[in-house]
Structure 1
Amino acid sequence: MFLVGITGGIATGKSSVANIFRENGIPVIDADAIARRVVEPGKPAWHKLKKEFGSEFFLDDQRINRVKLSDLIFNDIEKRKKLNAITHPFIYREIYWQTFKYFLQGHAFIVMELPLLFESGHMLSYLHKIIVVTCEEDIQLLRLMEREGFTEAKAKLRIIAQMSLDKKCEMANFVIENSGGEDDTREQTIKVLNVLKRSKYHWRLRLIVGFCCTVLLAGAYWLKSRTNKILKASI
C-alpha cells in the first residue's frame, strides 16, 4: 500500500477532491477531522489545552472556541507552537493507526488530506505521490470570505500566512485546478485516480514487507531451535 497526499491552500477545494476519491472507493484520512476529534471535551488533548490556554478559550458546552483560539495562534507564533506540541502527537498517532488498519485491509493505496503538508513537513517522507489543489486567487479569497465570514482584509491575511500556491504546485506530482465547475474538477480528479490505480508500486512495498516478515520469522525459528538444542545439551 502506498500513500497519496492531498494538500493546497485554504479554501481551494481540497475536501471536494478528497470526496471524489471517497466516492470511488478510495479510503481517505482527513487530518482536520482527526484534529477536531482529539480535542473533544474530556479527551487528553482537551485537558492539556484547557490547562495551557485557560477557560476563556472554551464555550459554555466545554467545546473549544475555535474562532477565538484561531485568532490567538494566528497572531502569536509561540502560542501556535504550544498548540501544535499538544495536539500533533495525538493527531499523528491516529493517522498512523488508521493507515495501519487500511494496510491490513489490503488497499493498494489510500489518500491523506493534509492541509499543511508542506508547512509542517511531517508526512512528506511517507508519501509516494502528492496532489495539490489550487484555484485562482480571487476565487480563493471569495470562498474563504463566504465560508468563514471573514472580512476581505482578514481573509487575505490568512491566505498569505500559508506557503504560496505556486510554490506548492512546483512540489506536486499532480495539480488539480479547481477554479472551474464541479464537473471540471471531477474530470481532473478521475484522471489522477486512474493513473494511481495503474501504479504497481504497492506490490513492491508488499514484497518488501513480506520479505522482512519472512526474515523475522526465520530468525525467530532459528533462535528457538538453537535455544532448544542448548537446553537439551545441558540436561
Structure 2
Amino acid sequence: MICSAAMMLVGLTGGVATGKSTIAKMFRQCGAIVIDADELARDVVQPGKPAWREIVMAFGRGILHPDSTIDRHALGAIVFRDKKNLRRLERIIHPRVARQQVKLAKQAEKRNPHAVVIYDVPLLFEAGIDKRVDKIIVVTADRETQIARLRKRNGLSRSEALRRIRNQLPLTKKRRLANYILDGTRDRRRLAREVFKLFKDLRPLG
C-alpha cells in the first residue's frame, strides 16, 4: 500500500477483453476515483517523450503513424509474437506508468482522504503491482467470450486473439489471488448491483 490507511487503493484486473473497462465505469458512477493504466500508457508514449524515443529506437520507425504517434496495431503485431520484445516494451513503459499512478493516487488522497481509488490495470500481477494495492478485484469471462470480443473490438484473427490471451497470466491463477471476483459476462443491471455493493464494502469509514 502506498497511501494512508484511510484511503482504499484497489487493483482492478482480469484477462484481456473480460469487461474491466465496463466495470471501472460502474465504479466511477458509484463515486470511486478511477485511474486507467492504459490511458497512462498512451500518455507516456506521446511523440517526443522519453518512452516514445526508446520505443522508436527499439522497434524502428515502421511502428509510427504519419503524424509520429505510435501505431498500436503495428507495434502489437511485433511484441505479441515474441515475448522478448513484449518484455522489452514493458520495461520501457511500466516504470513510467507506475510513477504516474503513484502521483495520481496521492493527489486523490489529498482531495479526499477516505476515497476509494480503483486502479484499472491489465497486468497487475505480471508487473508486480499486486504488492502495492490494498485489495484486488479480478474480472473474469470465458475464453470464447474473450476471443469474440477481441475479434470484434480489435479486428484480430482467432489465432491473434488467442496469442494475446496466452501472453497474460491465466485467469485461473488470477482468480486464486483475488480478494473479489466479478463475472464480466453477466447482465449489466445485475453486474451494476454487484459493483455498487462491493463499492460500499470497500469504502473506508471516515
- 1:27 and 2:27 equivalent? no
Report the counterpart of residue 141 of structure 1 in structure 2: 147
TM-score in terms of structure 2 length? 0.91
Alignment of 1:197-216 (within 5 A): 197=203, 199-200=204-205
- 1:178 and 2:187 equivalent? no
Contact 2:19 2:185 in 1 (8 A): no
Of 72, 76, 93, the residue aligned with 2:99 is 93
- 1:166 and 2:172 equivalent? yes
- 1:112 and 2:90 equivalent? no
Identify the structure with bigger relative contact order (alpha carbons < 8 Å, sequence gap 6+). 2
Name the CA shift for 1:157/1:48 in 2 (closer, same or farther; >3 Å): closer
Letter in 1 for 2:188: E
Letter in 1 for 2:117: I
Q: Distance in 1 between matches of 2:22 and 2:176?
A: 21
Q: Percent identity?
A: 36
What's the CA shift for 1:2?
2.3
- 1:153 and 2:139 equivalent? no
Q: Distance in 1 between matches of 2:32 and 2:110?
A: 15
Bigger radius of gyration, 1 or 2?
A: 1
Contact 2:17 2:149 in 1 (8 A): yes
Structure 1's consecutive aligned runs of 4 or more residues displaced over 4 angstroms after TM superposition are none
Q: Distance in 1 between matches of 2:83 and 2:23?
A: 30
Name the CA shift for 1:162/1:54 in 2 (closer, same or farther; >3 Å): same
Secondary structure of the corresponding residue to residue 120 of structure 1: coil
Comparing both structures, which one devotes a greater share of its residues to helix? 1
Of 128, 131, 134, the residue aligned with 2:137 is 131
- 1:49 and 2:47 equivalent? no
Q: Distance in 2 between matches of 1:156 and 1:61?
A: 31
Secondary structure of the corresponding residue to residue 122 of structure 2: coil
Q: Distance in 2 between matches of 1:118 and 1:131?
A: 12
Runs of 5+ unmatched residues, structure 1? 204-235
Q: CA RMSD in A?
A: 1.4
